[in-house]
Amino acid sequence: MPDVGEGLTEAEIVTWRVAPGDTVTVNQIIAEIETAKAVVELPSPYAGTVGELLAEPGVTVEVGNPIIVIETAEAAPADAAPAAGEGGAKIGEAGAGGRIATLVGYGPRQGTVSRRPRRTGGEPAGAQPAGAQPAALADAAVAPAEVEPPAPVEPSPAAPESVGGPAPTPTTGPWGDLVPLAKPPVRKMARDLGVDLRQVAGTGAGGVITREDVQSFTTPPPLAPPPVVSAPGRDDRREAIRGVRKATAAAMVSSAFTAPHVTEFLSVDVTATLALRDRLRGGREFRDVRLTPLAFVAKAVCLAAKRTPSVNATWDADAGEIVYHGAMHLGIAAATPRGLVVPKIRDADLLDLRGLADGLAELTATARSGKTPPSDLVGGTFTITNVGVFGVDTGTPIINPGEAAILAVGAIKPMPWVVDGELAVRTVCQLSLSFDHRLVDGEQGSRFLADVGALLEDPGVALTW
């Protein structure tokens, strides 16, 4: 699997465009792979014949792992032997020092053992003359020492039974015939409970058995809940967490538990904005473009951010700095069949209303077709999510990692509204702004949201800034 860039470490094989036996050329598309950001086409780096496909569609492969075998004309025969006299041992043959050569380094030295042989009973210490090597040690240098297995120990008739049944033989359990490591109070506790410490695995420092280990050993495992029986054809369905869903989950968890979120809400009378949209649609400049309310929101965000730069910033904890971005790279959350993606409109603050409308139409079509390049899904500085298209009034959006704020736009609908002291029916929209309180103070966040609302309520306000 090649490195597809953008810091990605794995990708999923979506489909193969070739099969074993096919002839491929350089840069011919051989597969489609799905990363955490997009579906991309994978070209062949070689010309030759496809020998084998090493990964099935649907399998996630880490970068650097082989996924296909391409036999080229320059490939050497697989059974070609190394020239005589070349250094090193063949794989699987004994090399210098009696070691077995492996793919990396060497295996263990053959015929050696580092354990000192057990002294036989009745042989006094120091029986060998000074300077002489004991015969047992000399033999151990060339052959493994034969250690006589210990005689089985019969359990004492008076030994108490451990919880859950009779005490097992001393040679079973994690300790075998070794003495378990435990402090005297723990040993007394085990005796009182009838627990054989040789059956208990220690979790303390150096493998020492603790009180918690003994209590866990005596606690019976919880009973499994009874299975839930559903009507035929209504079984649960499991789906692997991968691709866009996996990346979105990791990003949202990281943001929610790293950035202290504050969310504020504002109801806005957008009657004047929609009237302006209707007038512009009849003009020549906007006649061939899909001019949506979201384009006006995007323009309002770009203008308001110039008055509150902290909403277009990043908290760099590693450097101990706040990065105030010189450009507004505006992310637009888009729902696609593959999940939620957030493509970016680069330098959105330099675009006029027509440019923003064109950018929104292009990125939305590209995202829904699944062809958004990975480079367009990173590097955002502010995000807008339009939950109103689903008929939702408002929400509490989660900030994208690396950004300072996100604006949710609710449904636009007629509502009763007070105008000049009189009740009237107006077109109203709910806005909700979530911001990182490390970067944006409450006063700054409130002023930014109020500025966006003022521009949408009366677009002519922009002429006064």
Amino acid (one-letter) located at 369: S
Sign of CA dihedral 8, 12, 14, 20: positive
Angstrom distances, CA of residue 409 to CA of 138, 296, 390: 84, 11, 11
Q: Are the C-beta atoms of residues 385 and 406 closer than 8 Å to each other?
A: yes
Residue 111 has pLDDT above 70, yes or no: no
3-state secondary structure of 62: strand
Distance, in Å, from the CA atom of 5 to the CA atom of 306, rounded to the nearest integer, reads 32
Residue 273 has pLDDT above 90, yes or no: yes
> 23: number of CA atoms within 13 Å, CB side?
1
Mean pLDDT highest for which of 104-108, 116-120, 400-404?
400-404
Mean pLDDT, to the nearest integer, of 100-122?
Answer: 43
Residue 269 has pLDDT above 50, yes or no: yes
Distance, in Å, from the CA atom of 330 to the CA atom of 298, rounded to the nearest integer, reads 8
Mean pLDDT, to the nearest integer, of 404-430?
Answer: 96
Q: Which residues are catalytic?
A: 437
Tokens read off for 108: 């263990």
Q: Are the C-beta atoms of residues 211 and 189 closer than 8 Å to each other?
A: yes
Least confident of 205-209, 219-223, 292-296, 300-304: 219-223
Confidence at residue 153, expressed as pLDDT on a 0 to 100 scale: 45
What is the greatest pairwise CA distance in the chain?
118
Distance, in Å, from the CA atom of 304 to the CA atom of 296, rounded to the nearest integer, reads 12
Mean pLDDT across the chain: 81
3-state secondary structure of 295: helix
Would you place residue 311 in the very low, low, confident or very high pLDDT band (cuts 50, 70, 90)?
very high
Confidence at residue 37, expressed as pLDDT on a 0 to 100 scale: 67
pLDDT: is 157 or 437 the higher one?
437
Confidence at residue 237, expressed as pLDDT on a 0 to 100 scale: 83
Confidence at residue 301, expressed as pLDDT on a 0 to 100 scale: 98
Mean pLDDT, to the nearest integer, of 409-422?
Answer: 96
Distance, in Å, from the CA atom of 309 to the CA atom of 395, rounded to the nearest integer, reads 24
pLDDT: is 320 or 206 the higher one?
320
For the stretch 116-169, pLDDT in tens is: 455 544 444 444 444 444 443 334 333 444 444 444 444 444 444 444 444 444
Using alpha carbons, select from 447, 409, 448 the residue that is nearest to residue 429: 409
Mean pLDDT, to the nearest integer, of 59-63?
Answer: 87
Residue 296 has pLDDT above 80, yes or no: yes
Distance, in Å, from the CA atom of 243 to the CA atom of 34, rounded to the nearest integer, reads 7
Confidence at residue 12, expressed as pLDDT on a 0 to 100 scale: 87
Least confident of 112-121, 186-195, 301-310: 112-121
Q: Are the C-beta atoms of residues 293 and 273 closer than 8 Å to each other?
A: yes
Mean pLDDT, to the nearest integer, of 346-364?
Answer: 95
Would you place residue 90 in the very low, low, confident or very high pLDDT band (cuts 50, 70, 90)?
very low
Least confident of 9-23, 80-94, 380-394, 396-410: 80-94
